[in-house]
């Protein structure tokens, strides 16, 4: 188990009758897997998608799988069939993982804009991981501590990934806290290690009535209620966009109530 000492502390405080609101910060620490929740994280994204999310008070995540990320090794056990006796089955919970992809690399590198935007209008945003997780976790949901994880992506070579896929021991990926599933949904080829990715993982539980009433899932997208107010610490606008476009985008952010620093994203090679 990752963060076992924090989990032990949570168990003790739960036994003492402490409430979820009081324990929320500890749940964030427990569910931050191999990443310090006090970190800042950064995301390059299309600005039109970000505007839509802010306007609608939502955050959009994408289903973790080969089709969504154009990578055959995404969520590597998603469709794998395990056998036990005469039974054959998949790990159904793997179908319900959604992710938002960030990095903990503070350096604004040119290749990221090229790879993730391909010339489209976009921005890089900086947020506090602690604050982001605090906004996602809603204590009105009795199972909020099982839904959200921040995970430092694990990069493995082909040999290890092949062994992972070949294994029939499904129990390796099961635990009551959901950590192993979140880690599995954040395991990638080491050919992508340069990305230094941090994933915000959401485990969708469609049988949960709180989830049914508040969260929208359509095709590969999942939209969660989200308050963007005072969350973004900094916005960098793609430096290949015309200066007139910079002014238009900044005005739009201001009209949506975003008050952070907004600058041109001059990048390093």
For residue range 122-160, list pLDDT tens digits in order.
999 999 999 999 999 999 999 999 999 999 999 999 999
Q: What is the pLDDT of residue 267?
A: 76
Name the residue ranges covered by the structural domains of the chain: 4-265
- Closest Cα to residue 126, out of 55, 182, 198? 198
- pLDDT band at 269, cuts 50/70/90? low
pLDDT in the model for residue 48: 97
| Confidence at residue 107, expressed as pLDDT on a 0 to 100 scale | 95
139-to-49, 134, 207 alpha-carbon distances in Å: 27, 10, 18
8 A C-beta contact, residue 28 and residue 134: yes
pLDDT tens-digit series, residues 181-225? 999 999 999 999 999 999 999 999 988 889 888 999 999 999 999
Give the confidence band of 70 by pLDDT, cuts at 50, 70, 90.
Answer: confident
Q: What's the rounded Cα separation, in Å, for the pair 101 and 43?
A: 7
Which tokens in the block code for residue 248? 């238009």
Residues whose CB falls within 8 Å of the CB of residue 248, separated by 6 or more in sequence, listed in order: none
What's the rounded Cα separation, in Å, for the pair 170 and 260?
Answer: 46
Using the predicted structure, report yes or no on whether residue 11 has a pLDDT greater than 90: yes
Is it the case that residue 268 has pLDDT exceeding 80?
no
**For the residues 231-249, what does the mean pLDDT come to?**
96
Closest CA to 44 of 260, 244, 238: 238
């Amino acid at each position: 188990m990752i963060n076992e000492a924090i989990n032990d502390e949570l168990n003790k405080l739960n036994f003492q009758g402490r409430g979820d609101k009081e324990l929320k910060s500890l749940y964030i620490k427990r569910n931050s897997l191999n990443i310090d929740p006090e970190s800042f994280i950064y995301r390059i994204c299309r600005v039109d998608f970000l505007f839509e999310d802010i306007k609608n008070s939502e955050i959009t995540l994408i289903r973790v799988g080969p089709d969504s990320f154009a990578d055959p090794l995404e969520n590597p056990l998603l469709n794998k069939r395990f056998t036990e006796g005469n039974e054959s089955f998949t790990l159904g919970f793997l179908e319900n993982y959604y992710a938002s992809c960030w990095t903990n690399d503070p350096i604004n590198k040119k290749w990221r804009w090229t790879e993730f935007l391909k010339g489209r209008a976009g921005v890089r945003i900086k947020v506090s991981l602690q604050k982001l997780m605090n906004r996602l976790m809603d204590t009105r949901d009795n199972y909020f501590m099982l839904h959200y994880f921040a995970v430092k992506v694990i990069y493995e070579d082909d040999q290890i990934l092949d062994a992972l896929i070949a294994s029939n021991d499904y129990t390796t990926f099961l635990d009551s806290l959901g950590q192993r599933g979140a880690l599995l949904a954040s395991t990638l080829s080491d050919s992508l290690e340069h990305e230094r990715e941090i994933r915000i993982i959401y485990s969708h539980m469609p049988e949960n009535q709180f989830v049914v009433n508040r969260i929208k899932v359509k095709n590969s997208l999942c939209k969660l209620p989200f308050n963007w107010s005072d969350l973004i610490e900094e916005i960098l606008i793609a430096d290949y966009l015309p200066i007139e476009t910079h002014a238009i985008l900044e005005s739009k952010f201001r009209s949506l109530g975003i008050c952070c620093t907004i600058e041109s994203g001059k990048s390093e090679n």
